[in-house]
């Protein structure tokens, strides 16, 4: 393996393993973009704490055996670098009409617009999530959680750099314009919103943050896996390295929810509560009741399903045919990787009923990826339910039906219960807050969001983690808060 690609050059302003110092034009373009990025970070990045020392990991190599180092860093001094996974020798395009041809090192002219669109959409989500989470530092339940939030934020910032590098290097002037636009749009802005629905929603509290990192970052994982299959090799290599960092984000979500559920169950047991659906009694203990956790889960799962686009999509078929966006674990699938004659079952609305219909597999690729996503989501639910059953409660968290609370695709114009029963608008309006959080639910959760900044201390609504970051002990000072 090439040694240069494994280690990162920190001598240029922008750390990288793509030999930027020999690529003056791109280096100049990126250095030109850098001040705008720093302005964006100071305006839209985490509120406060910018002068605090945070125990962060920074990627210093792309060697999977040891790629990150941990140290105290002030967030604005974080080295946002451009890191691509090592180039695989003789890599071929693993699917579509160009199956078996050598992977492209340059953008194929005929697919330029399609590639640019996908890179821009991917890039747009990264700063959006930082914007959505910027106020959460003020209410962190511990220094451990505060550090995890900032770790996620700086890495989403790096993922923006990753996409901007591709735009600047491979898309000339349009790429530079798109890179500037990525710093201009704002999550939730009425005039200039982020591109995808879920990235314009609020992340009002820490339970939402954990749900977001569990469900929405997992969409990121699936999309990055599909793009990591791309015949455009620089995109593939970029996404492969991003996935290394992404795993921690989902860990933060999964363990965060586990710790909330754990604390609720402990508190209920200690108080002798036998009915976990007795919301008032549970809330009086200062913990989040399981039915409210279920409502948050319903909301974030359904918002994340929307990120997969329509179940039946010619965009998806075109991107696959072109060799630009593949399937999850494409190279491990045993078929012709062209999908010329295959079908795939899709749930559709037929004569007012939710019906399984066989669609050409090519146009059903969003559905397939979404099914893979759902299977991946189930794993966390099994863990959370284990905590509940071990505590002796019969309550089960479940994923809502795919027709529930949708804004994109087959079910966007109907209403359904979490069990997938179709209901009319009047019933939906009357009952929706049985299924998605109401203002009162939000107010209750908000009332618990009091910052805890003592070393080794945790807010009373969440359990401490089982192990520390980088094996640090429970009394480790993850953030040295500058006041």
List interacting residues with ligand BYC (CB under 6 A): 118, 121-122, 125-126, 129, 156, 196-197, 216-217, 219-220, 223, 306-310, 313, 315-316, 325, 366, 408
State the minimum distance, in angstroms, from the CB of residue 451 to ligand BYC: 23
Instruction: For the CB of residue 307, give the shortest distance to ligand BYC in the complex, in Å.
Output: 5
Q: Which letter does DSSP use for residue 216 in this model?
A: I
Nearest-angstrom CA–CA distance, 322 and 337: 12
**Residues 8, 3: Cα–Cα separation, whole Å:** 10
Q: Return d(Cα 30, Cα 33) in angstroms, integer.
A: 5
Element (H, E) at 124: helix 112-132
Six token digits for residue 304: 């994340």
| CA pair distance 253, 152, nearest whole angstrom | 11
Kindly tell me which of 167 and 316 has the beta carbon lying closer to ligand BYC.
Answer: 316
**Minimum distance, C-beta of residue 130 to ligand BYC, in the bound complex (Å):** 8
Q: Which is nearer to ligand BYC, 276 or 309 (CB)?
A: 309
Q: Cα separation of 358 and 350, whole Å?
A: 12
Q: Which is nearer to ligand BYC, 156 or 289 (CB)?
A: 156
Which residue, 116 or 325, is less far from ligand BYC as judged by CB? 325
Going by the DSSP 8-state scheme, the letter that residue 311 receives in this structure is S
- Residue 15 beta carbon to ligand BYC: minimum distance, rounded to whole angstroms: 21
Contact of 307 with 216, CB cutoff 8 Å:
yes
CB of 37 to ligand BYC, least distance (A): 16
Q: Among residues 168 and 223, whose Cβ is nearest to ligand BYC?
A: 223
Bridging pattern class, strands 479-480 and 53-59: antiparallel
Token pair for 156: 């989403």
The minimum distance between CB 72 and ligand BYC, in angstroms, equals 25
CB 34 within 8 A of CB 13: yes
Residue with nearest beta carbon to ligand BYC: 309
Handedness of CA 204, 207, 212, 215 (dihedral sign): negative
Nearer to ligand BYC, 58 or 203 (CB): 203
Cβ distance to ligand BYC smaller for residue 226 or 262: 226
Question: Smallest distance, Å, CB 211 to ligand BYC?
Answer: 12
Minimum distance from residue 162 beta carbon to ligand BYC (Å) = 11
Q: How far is CA 164 from CA 18, 29, 139, 160, 412, in A?
A: 14, 10, 32, 6, 33
CB of 265 to ligand BYC, least distance (A): 28
Smaller CB distance to ligand BYC: residue 166 or 307? Answer: 307
- CA distances (Å), origin 105, targets 74, 337, 397, 418: 36, 21, 46, 46
**SS3 category, 10:** coil
Among all chains, which residue has been given the structure tokens 């099914």? 371
Measured between alpha carbons, how far is 429 from 442 in angstroms, rounded to an integer? 18
How far, in Å, CA of 459 to CA of 345, rounded? 46
Distance of closest approach, residue 341 Cβ to ligand BYC, in angstroms? 21
How far is Cα 322 from Cα 168, in angstroms, rounded to an integer? 22
Retrieve residue 266's tokens.
Answer: 């402990």
Q: At what angle do helices 217-228 and 233-270 cross, to 10 degrees?
A: 160
Q: Which is nearer to ligand BYC, 16 or 313 (CB)?
A: 313
Closer residue to ligand BYC, CB minimum distance, 216 or 264: 216
Closer residue to ligand BYC, CB minimum distance, 273 or 307: 307
Instruction: Provide φ and ψ at 311, rounded to 5°.
Output: -60, -40
φ, ψ for residue 42, nearest 5 deg = -75, -30
Least distance in Å: CB of 121 to ligand BYC? 4
Q: Which is nearer to ligand BYC, 153 or 264 (CB)?
A: 153
Least distance between ligand BYC and beta carbon 27 (Å): 26
N-to-C CA span, the chain:
47
Taking the CA atoms of residue 201, residue 204, residue 210 and residue 211 in that order, the dihedral angle to the nearest 10 degrees is -40
């Amino acid at each position: 393996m090439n040694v240069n690609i494994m280690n990162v050059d920190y001598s240029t302003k922008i750390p990288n393993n793509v030999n930027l110092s020999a690529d003056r034009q791109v280096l100049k373009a990126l250095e030109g973009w850098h001040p705008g990025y720093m302005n964006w970070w100071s305006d839209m990045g985490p509120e406060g704490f910018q002068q605090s020392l945070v125990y962060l990991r920074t990627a210093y190599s792309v060697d999977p055996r040891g790629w990150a180092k941990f140290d105290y860093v002030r967030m604005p001094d974080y080295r946002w670098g451009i890191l691509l996974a090592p180039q695989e020798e003789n890599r071929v395009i693993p699917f579509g009409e160009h199956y078996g041809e050598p992977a492209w090192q340059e953008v194929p002219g005929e697919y330029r617009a399609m590639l640019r669109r996908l890179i821009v959409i991917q890039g747009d989500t990264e700063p959006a999530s930082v914007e959505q989470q910027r106020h959460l530092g003020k209410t962190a339940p511990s220094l451990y959680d505060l550090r995890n939030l900032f770790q996620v934020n700086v890495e989403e910032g790096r993922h923006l750099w990753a996409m901007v590098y591709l735009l600047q290097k491979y898309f000339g002037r349009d790429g530079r314009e798109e890179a500037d636009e990525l710093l201009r749009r704002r999550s939730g802005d009425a005039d200039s919103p982020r591109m995808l629905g879920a990235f314009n929603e609020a992340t009002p509290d820490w339970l939402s943050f954990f749900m977001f990192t569990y469900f929405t970052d997992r969409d990121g994982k699936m999309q990055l896996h599909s793009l990591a299959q791309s015949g455009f090799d620089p995109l593939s290599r970029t996404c492969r390295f991003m996935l290394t960092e992404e795993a921690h984000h989902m860990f933060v979500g999964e363990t965060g929810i586990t710790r909330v559920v754990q604390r609720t169950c402990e508190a209920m047991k200690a108080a002798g509560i036998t009915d976990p659906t007795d919301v008032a009694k549970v809330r009086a203990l200062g913990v989040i009741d399981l039915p409210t956790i279920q409502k948050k889960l319903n909301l974030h799962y359904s918002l994340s399903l929307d990120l997969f686009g329509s179940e039946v999509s010619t965009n998806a078929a075109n991107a696959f045919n072109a060799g630009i966006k593949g399937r999850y674990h494409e190279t491990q699938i045993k078929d012709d990787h062209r999908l010329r004659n295959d079908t795939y079952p899709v749930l559709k609305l037929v004569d007012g009923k939710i019906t399984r219909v066989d669609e050409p597999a090519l146009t059903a690729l969003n559905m397939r990826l979404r099914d893979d996503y759902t299977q991946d989501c189930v794993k966390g639910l099994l863990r959370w339910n284990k905590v509940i059953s071990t505590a002796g409660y019969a309550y089960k968290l479940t994923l809502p039906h795919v027709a529930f609370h949708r804004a994109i695709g087959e079910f966007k114009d109907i209403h359904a219960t979490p069990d997938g029963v179709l209901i009319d608008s009047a019933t939906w309006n009357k009952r929706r807050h049985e299924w998605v959080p109401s203002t009162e639910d939000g107010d209750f959760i908000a009332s618990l969001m009091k910052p805890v900044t003592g070393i080794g201390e945790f807010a009373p609504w969440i359990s401490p983690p089982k192990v520390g970051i980088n094996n640090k002990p429970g009394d480790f000072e993850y953030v040295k808060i500058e006041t």
